C-alpha cells in the first residue's frame, strides 16, 4: 500500500479527489496511520461534526496480503462521543480489498455545502464520487442491496444507516462481510456520525484484477504464516472455544467470575445467563441453520472463525451471530434473557448503524430512568426503533448513555470520557477498570484486554479483585494493542501470542518477512508507545487532563455483589499508567 486517497467534500463545485504518496506516514497502517493523520491534520479543539474534522479509513499494515487474521480495518477521527481522538476497529472484506488496491487510507475531508448524499466507487481504474439522494435515510441492508444491484455481487461496501445520517454520537460505520452483508461495524465513538457529516452514505470497493500483496521476503513470510496459524489452532481459546461458541462463550465464564454487569451495572451475576450463553446460542444456530452455522469468519483469511449466522424460528437469516458484548448489552445489562429478541435488536443496530455496546448501555440507563422495565424485551425493541425512525426520543437515545442519563436525570451512568463501558464490571475485573479509566478512547475493553490475564489466566495471572498489578497489566496491554491494531491483525491473536513464545515469534517473523526488515518485540513495544503518545497529546490539546482518566465515583463506593468489592485502584496509581 503506497498511496493515500483524499476526498475533499467542501470543494466549490463537486467533491475533489486526490491520490498522494504516503510521505511522512510511510510504514504506518491501521491505527498507527489513523492516529498519525488525525494528530497531525485535525485541530484538537475543532467540532467533531465540523469541516475541520477528518475521517480516516485505514487497512492494516498486512491487510491485502496472505497473512492470516490480517483483515481488520481502523477508522479514525475526533470523536463526537468522547471529544477526543478515536480509533474504531472492524472486520469485514473492505480492508483486504483496499489493501490489494494499494490504498493505505481513505481520508474524507471538509463538509459539503449542500444537503446532498454521495456514494463513492473505488476500483483499479480510479475513484468516482456521485450524488445519490435515493439513499437518504435507508438502512445499511437496503444500501448494500442497491450497491450490489449497481456494481455487482463481488464488492465490499462501507456505509452508514439512519443514525449516521442523523449525526448521532452512537452511530457506527458498517463494513460488509464475505456474503456482502453489513454485519461488521466500527462501532465505538460515533464514527458513523462523522461520515454522515461528510455527506458520504456509502463507499463501494471493487478489487477485481488486483492480486494479493507480495511480501518482501516470500520464504520467511510463508514459513512464519504457517507457524502462526498452527499456533492459533492449537491454543484452547483460539482453536477450540471461539470457533465452537463464538465470543459469547464468555457469558458463563464472566458470570461465574461475578463480573457480568447486570441491570445497568447493579450486580455481577445474571441469574438467567445460561439462556443467552454462547453454548445456547451455538445450539440454536446449528439447529436452525444446519451444523456449522455457529462457526464463520468475518473476512477471508480468518482462521479463528469466531462469528456465526443467526436464523429466526423459521430458519430464515436474521443477523450475524450476536457477539458477547452485544448479547450482554441488550441482554443481561437490560435484564433480558431472550436470544431471539437480542438478535432482532442486533439486526436493527446493524441496519440503523448503531454501536451495540453504546445502545445496550443506553437502553439500560433508560430503563433505570423508568422509560421501560428491566427485562421487557418488547420495550427495548421499541426504544431502538425510535432511533431508526428519527423521533425526538430516538435522537436522545442515539446520542448515547451519557446524554440519555443527563436528559432523564440518572445518576448511575457507566461511562468514561462519554463512552459507555462494555461487558465487564470494573470492580470484578480491576485491570479492565484501569483500561476503561485511562484509555485514550474512553471506556473500551479492546484497548487493553485485561480480562485475558485477570479471568482467563492468559499470559500469567493477576487477581481480578485486587488492585495490585493492575496498572502494569493494563499499561503493557494498551501498548501491545496499539501496535497490533496497526497491523490489521485481529486482537484475538493475543490469546495465543501471550501464551506461546513460538507463536509470538512467528508473528514477528511474519511482519518482518512482509516488510523486509527484522521485527523485534522491542520494535512492537516502541510502535505501541509512539501511537499512545500521539493520541494522548491530541487529547491533552483537546482539553483532557488526568481528571478524565477516572471511573464514575459510584464504582468506588457501591459494592458489587457477589464479591461485594469496589474499584480499589487509586487515582495516584491510575496516573502512573502512561509513565513510560
What is 447-478 written as a DSSP string?
GS-THHHHTS-TTS---TTSSTTHHHHHHHHH
Residue 114 pLDDT class (50, 70, 90 cuts): confident
Concatenating the DSSP letter of every residue in 305-337 gives: -BB-EEE-TTS-EEEEPPPHHHHHHHTGGGT--
pLDDT at site 535:
98
Mean pLDDT along residues 465-471:
98
How crowded is the C-beta side of 100, counted as CA atoms within 13 Å? Answer: 24
pLDDT at site 327:
98
Mean pLDDT along residues 415-422:
98
Evaluate whether 487 touches 524 at the Cβ level (below 8 Å): no
Report which secondary-structure segment, H or E, holds 156.
Answer: strand 156-159
Mean pLDDT along residues 546-558:
98
- pLDDT of 94 over the 80 cut: yes
Domains within the chain, CATH numbers bracketed: 3-205 (3.60.9.10), 216-245+426-580 (1.10.599.10), 248-423 (1.10.569.10)
Mean pLDDT along residues 367-392:
98
Q: What is the pLDDT of residues 287-345, one digit of tens each?
A: 999 988 999 988 888 999 999 999 999 999 999 999 999 999 999 999 999 999 999 99
pLDDT at site 329:
98
pLDDT at site 298:
86
Q: What is the pLDDT of residues 266-292, one digit of tens each?
A: 999 999 999 999 999 999 999 999 988
Q: Average pLDDT of the chain?
A: 97
pLDDT at site 35:
98
d(CA 51, CA 64): 31
pLDDT at site 476:
97
Name the percent of the chain lying above pLDDT 90: 97
- pLDDT of 10 over the 90 cut: no
In this prediction the pTM is 0.97
Residue 372 pLDDT class (50, 70, 90 cuts): very high
Q: Is the peptide bond before 562 cis (omega within 30 degrees of 0)?
A: yes
Evaluate whether 503 touches 497 at the Cβ level (below 8 Å): yes
- pLDDT of 11 over the 80 cut: no
Give the chain's end-to-end CA distance (angstroms, integer): 31
**Which grid cell is 421?**
463501558
Q: What is the pLDDT of residues 152-165, one digit of tens each?
A: 999 999 999 999 99
Residue 389 pLDDT class (50, 70, 90 cuts): very high
Q: What is the pLDDT of residues 476-502, one digit of tens each?
A: 999 999 999 999 999 999 999 999 999
pLDDT at site 115:
87
Name the percent of the chain lying above pLDDT 70: 100
Mean pLDDT along residues 340-367:
98
pLDDT at site 13:
75
Q: What is the pLDDT of residues 164-183, one digit of tens each?
A: 999 999 999 999 999 999 99
pLDDT at site 113:
85
d(CA 8, CA 198): 9
**Burial 244-265, CB ≥16 within 10 A → b, else e:** bbbbbbbbbbbbebbbbbbbbb
Residue 547 pLDDT class (50, 70, 90 cuts): very high
pLDDT at site 299:
85
pLDDT at site 69:
95
Q: What is the pLDDT of residues 392-410, one digit of tens each?
A: 999 999 999 999 999 999 9
d(CA 26, CA 282): 43
Amino acid at each position: 500500500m503506497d498511496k493515500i486517497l483524499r476526498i475533499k467534500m467542501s470543494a466549490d463545485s463537486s467533491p475533489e479527489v486526490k491520490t498522494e504518496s504516503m510521505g511522512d506516514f510511510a510504514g504506518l497502517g491501521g491505527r498507527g496511520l489513523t492516529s498519525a493523520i488525525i494528530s497531525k491534520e485535525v485541530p484538537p479543539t475543532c467540532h467533531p461534526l465540523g469541516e475541520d474534522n477528518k475521517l480516516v479509513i485505514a487497512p492494516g499494515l498486512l491487510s491485502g496480503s496472505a497473512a492470516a487474521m490480517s483483515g481488520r480495518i481502523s477508522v479514525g477521527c475526533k470523536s463526537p462521543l468522547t471529544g477526543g481522538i478515536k480509533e474504531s476497529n472492524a472486520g469485514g472484506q473492505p480492508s483486504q480489498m483496499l489493501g490489494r488496491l494499494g490504498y493505505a487510507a481513505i481520508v474524507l475531508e471538509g463538509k459539503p455545502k449542500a444537503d446532498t448524499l454521495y456514494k463513492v466507487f473505488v476500483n483499479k481504474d480510479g475513484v468516482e464520487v456521485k450524488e445519490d439522494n435515493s439513499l437518504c435515510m435507508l438502512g445499511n441492508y437496503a444500501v448494500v442491496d442497491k450497491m450490489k444491484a449497481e456494481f455487482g455481487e463481488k464488492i465490499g461496501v462501507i456505509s452508514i444507516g439512519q443514525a449516521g445520517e442523523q449525526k448521532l454520537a452512537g452511530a457506527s460505520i458498517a463494513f460488509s462481510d464475505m456474503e456482502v452483508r453489513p454485519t461488521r461495524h466500527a462501532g465505538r465513538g460515533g464514527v458513523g456520525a462523522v461520515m454522515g457529516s461528510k455527506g458520504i452514505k456509502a463507499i463501494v470497493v471493487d478489487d477485481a484484477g488486483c492480486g494479493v500483496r507480495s511480501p518482501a521476503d516470500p520464504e520467511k513470510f510463508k514459513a512464519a504464516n504457517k507457524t502462526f496459524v498452527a499456533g492459533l489452532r492449537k491454543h484452547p481459546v483460539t482453536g477450540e472455544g471461539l470457533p465452537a461458541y463464538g465470543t459469547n462463550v464468555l457469558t458463563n465464564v464472566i458470570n461465574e467470575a461475578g463480573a457480568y454487569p447486570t441491570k445497568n451495572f447493579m450486580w455481577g451475576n445474571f441469574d438467567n445467563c445460561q439462556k443467552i450463553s454462547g453454548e445456547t446460542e451455538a445450539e440454536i444456530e446449528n439447529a436452525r441453520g444446519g451444523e456449522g452455522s455457529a462457526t464463520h469468519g468475518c473476512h477471508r483469511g480468518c482462521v479463528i472463525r469466531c462469528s456465526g449466522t443467526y436464523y429466526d424460528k423459521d430458519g430464515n437469516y436474521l443477523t450475524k451471530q450476536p457477539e458477547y458484548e452485544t448479547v450482554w448489552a441488550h441482554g443481561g445489562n437490560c435484564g433480558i434473557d431472550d436470544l431471539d429478541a437480542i438478535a432482532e435488536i442486533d439486526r436493527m443496530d446493524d441496519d440503523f448503524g448503531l454501536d451495540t455496546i453504546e445502545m445496550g448501555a443506553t437502553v439500560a440507563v433508560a430503563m433505570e430512568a423508568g422509560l421501560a422495565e428491566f427485562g421487557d424485551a418488547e420495550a427495548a425493541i421499541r426504544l431502538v426503533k425510535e432511533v431508526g425512525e428519527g423521533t425526538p426520543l430516538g435522537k436522545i437515545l442515539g446520542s448515547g448513555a451519557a446524554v440519555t442519563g443527563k436528559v432523564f436525570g440518572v445518576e448511575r451512568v457507566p461511562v468514561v470520557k462519554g463512552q459507555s463501558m462494555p461487558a465487564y464490571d470494573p470492580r470484578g475485573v480491576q485491570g479492565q477498570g484501569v483500561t476503561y479509566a485511562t484509555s485514550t478512547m474512553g471506556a473500551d475493553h479492546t484497548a487493553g484486554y485485561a480480562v485475558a490475564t485477570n479471568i482467563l489466566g492468559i499470559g500469567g495471572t493477576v487477581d481480578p479483585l485486587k488492585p495490585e498489578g493492575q496498572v502494569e497489566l493494563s499499561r503493557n496491554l494498551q501498548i501491545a494493542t496499539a501496535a497490533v491494531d496497526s497491523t490489521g491483525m485481529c486482537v484475538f491473536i493475543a490469546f495465543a501470542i501471550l501464551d506461546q513464545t513460538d507463536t509470538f515469534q512467528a508473528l514477528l517473523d511474519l511482519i518482518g518477512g512482509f516488510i523486509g526488515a527484522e521485527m523485534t518485540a522491542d520494535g512492537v513495544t516502541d510502535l505501541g508507545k509512539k501511537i499512545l503518545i500521539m493520541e494522548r497529546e491530541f487529547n491533552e490539546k483537546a482539553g483532557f487532563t488526568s481528571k478524565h482518566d477516572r471511573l464514575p465515583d459510584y464504582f468506588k463506593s457501591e459494592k458489587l455483589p457477589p464479591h461485594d468489592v469496589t474499584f480499589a485502584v487509586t487515582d495516584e496509581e491510575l496516573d502512573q499508567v502512561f509513565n513510560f
